Amino acid sequence: MIEFTSSFGSLDPNDAAPYYRDPTHKEILIVTNKPLDGKPSETATAGTSWHSDRTYTLRPTKASFLLCKEKPSVGGDTIFSNMYKAYETLSRPFQEFLDKLEAIHDVSLIKGLDKRDPEKVAAMKKLNPPVIHKVIQTHPETGRKCLFVGQRIRSFVGMTEAESAPILSFLNQHAVSLEFTYRHNWSLNDLMMWDNRCTMHIAVPNYDKSQIRYMLRTALLGEEIGRRFEETAKAEVSMEKELAAVS
């Protein structure tokens, strides 16, 4: 898997989420409900809310690869949604409004963190302080605009959580309208690859949990985009102080 997928670009060594790597290959993440060392797997619920990979970092993933090594007899699907369509089907005035918006992406909003080892979760949060990304991105290769949202966004920059929530909720619902999606029902040894910059995906936990689902994942490092939230917050505070000083 490493040999094949690295032929597309530089593989992510998974420094943002080091605990869920294959012990001997840091490029491989294991997504499974299979107990590891006699303990329940911490990645059993990985990816079970709509997201693009690593948007909580300054280098969201360029492309991801998922290989199915064991599967339940029924279900355990993955759904993908087209973020070009999500953008293009919005009205012009709303597109213009969104063009100026930036979102705060927060690792602590990953679904199922409450079921993982609290020490690892605390370390993950420390490794990945909140970051800011534009809500509308222009794909660097196609030049097309797409929506860049998901369920790991806390709020929009400069707006309160109360103001952000209804817009965010609408966007996250609209972005995954059934007509924009493809649902993959896995066969053993299928390898799916997706452009993470213009899609979202979700793992559907629609299977018998007494059966094993075992997936291997590699990913291509993306371009550095966005900026740290803390730096912005500090800059805003010092600007407020300056303004207070002159007024």
- Selection from 202, 226, 218, 196 nearest residue 61 by Cα: 196
Annotated catalytic residue within 51, 105, 116, 174: 51
Q: How far apart are CA 192 and CA 200, in angstroms?
A: 14
Quick one: which of 41, 47, 149, 198 contacts ligand AKG (CB under 6 A)?
47
Nearer to ligand AKG, 101 or 204 (CB): 204
Mark whether 51 is an active-site residue: yes
Determine the interface stretch with ligand AKG among 10-18, 46-54, 111-119, 156-164 (rule: CB under 6 A): 46-54
Pick left, alpha or beta for residue 181 (phi over 0 → left; psi -120 to 50 → alpha; otherwise beta): beta
Q: How far apart are CA 3 and CA 85, in angstroms?
A: 33
Mark whether 92 is an active-site residue: no
Q: Is 55 in the site for ligand AKG (CB under 6 A)?
A: no
Residue 198 is encoded by which pair of tokens? 């213009």
Q: Is 66 in the site for ligand AKG (CB under 6 A)?
A: yes
Q: Is 46 in the site for ligand AKG (CB under 6 A)?
A: yes
Residue written as token pair 């599967």: 71
Annotated catalytic residue within 133, 197, 201, 213: 201
DSSP code of residue 8: G
- Report the interface residues with ligand AKG, using CB under 6 A: 31, 46-47, 53, 64, 66, 78, 201, 203, 215, 217
User: Which residues are part of the catalytic machinery?
Assistant: 51, 53, 201, 217
